[in-house]
Amino acid sequence: EKGTYPHYMLKEIEEQPFVIRKIIQQYQDEDGNVTIDPSIVSEFNQADRLYIVAAGTSYHAGLVGKQYFEKLAQIPTEVHLASEFVYNIPLLSKKPLFIFISQSGETADSRAALVEVKKLGYKSVTITNVPDSTLSREADYTLLLHAGPEIAVASTKAYTAQIAVLAIVADVLRKSKGIEKDIDLAHELAIVANAMEEICDSKDEFETIASDYLSFARNAFFIGRTLDYAVCLEGALKLKEISYIQAEGFAGGELKHGPIALIEDGTPVIALATQENVNLNIRGNVKEVVARDAYSCIISMEGLEMSGDRFILPAVHELLTPLISVVPLQYISYYAALHRGCDVDKPRNLAKSVTVE
């Protein structure tokens, strides 16, 4: 039930701090450390390469997951769109392990890929919100999201839950391999939950950004680099699916290779700046679009902020920024859709669970 909330999407955005706390609880041992089923750990430890397969928002969570597996656990990882993978299976490593990410556990494209993987005799893990879903039953192992039912067609809390679970898995693998890193993930995720709450308290600011930038926009760009780029793809998907504004996410450095030709007087460009090593680069990219009269705004993070930034996110661990930087983008899409009179929870032409290939 959506209770006092006008829309499921708004309710689900605001449930995210609780979902992260629930995930910490579900994946914690008696000592407060993150943990997963040892048989899953041993399956991962036998793999020489991970293949993440998913669709839509779950694919975007996979792009972030790749960074976690490579940076925390040092396991090479590829991310594939399920609908492409089925018809174009990549050259696989000697010992691949497949990770299917699916909120519903029912996506036909992902299931078709799982069927192919099983035919080839490889092992698989499904990360899903729905126990007993098709993908959960048919994979060898399941990791649950514990996000509670997601009703709005636009996925919000499942995306952050997927990223949190991927971070936990990667960190457990890191420890199992004896890779030293100064990170206490349960603690860092608790900081994320608090930061999410603070961001939700600022939703009026995101409503203002939506009405300033998007009320009459024909198109909109989201730009970022590294992890911020992955979040920009998700921000653009969210905006296009519920507000019908043509929206694209670009890697900041790619603008000059083509997309900058689209910038006109007043084109909205929302930039994320949460990554220290590319902070100056993304700000340079913003200058490039402003020089072409784009209407830009920067969402940065404490410690990296500069004067003129439109919103400053509370500081979290630099690998976990997607969990918080996506929240303003979810709100901005929500309010943009609302202001334009769109059916936020049930956008045209879309279904919550896509059971056709």
> Shortest Cβ distance from residue 246 to ligand F6R (Å)?
16
16 binds ligand F6R (CB under 6 A): no
> Shortest Cβ distance from residue 234 to ligand F6R (Å)?
8
* Segment near ligand F6R (CB under 6 A); pick from 101-109, 178-186, 306-314, 336-344: 101-109
Closest CA to 25 of 165, 196, 180: 165
329 binds ligand F6R (CB under 6 A): no
270/298 with CB nearer ligand F6R: 270
352 belongs to the catalytic site: yes
d(CA 105, CA 176): 28
* Segment near ligand F6R (CB under 6 A); pick from 56-64, 224-232, 278-286, 307-315: 56-64
d(CA 266, CA 279): 24
241 binds ligand F6R (CB under 6 A): yes
Among candidate residues 118, 240, 346, 352, the one labeled active-site is 352
Site string for ligand F6R, 266-305 (x = CB under 6 A): ----------------------------------------
CA-to-CA dists, residue 332 to 7, 26, 205, 256, 339, angstroms: 14, 30, 9, 26, 10
Q: Give yes or no for a contact between 55 and 82, defined as CB atoms under 8 angstroms apart.
A: yes
Closest CA to 351 of 151, 214, 84, 79: 151
Q: Name the region of 20 (left: φ>0; alpha: ψ -120 to 50; beta: rest).
A: alpha
55/168 with CB nearer ligand F6R: 55
136 binds ligand F6R (CB under 6 A): no
Phi, psi of 337 (to 5 degrees): -65, -40
- Contacts with ligand F6R by CB under 6 A: the residue count is 15
> Shortest Cβ distance from residue 137 to ligand F6R (Å)?
15
Q: Give yes or no for a contact between 72 and 179, defined as CB atoms under 8 angstroms apart.
A: yes
82/301 with CB nearer ligand F6R: 82
110 binds ligand F6R (CB under 6 A): yes
Q: Give yes or no for a contact between 35 and 23, defined as CB atoms under 8 angstroms apart.
A: no
- In this structure, the chain runs to a length of 357
In single-letter form, the type of residue at position 9 comes to M
Q: Catalytic residue numbers? A: 352
Residues that bind ligand F6R (CB under 6 A): 55-58, 102-104, 107, 110, 154-155, 237, 241, 353-354
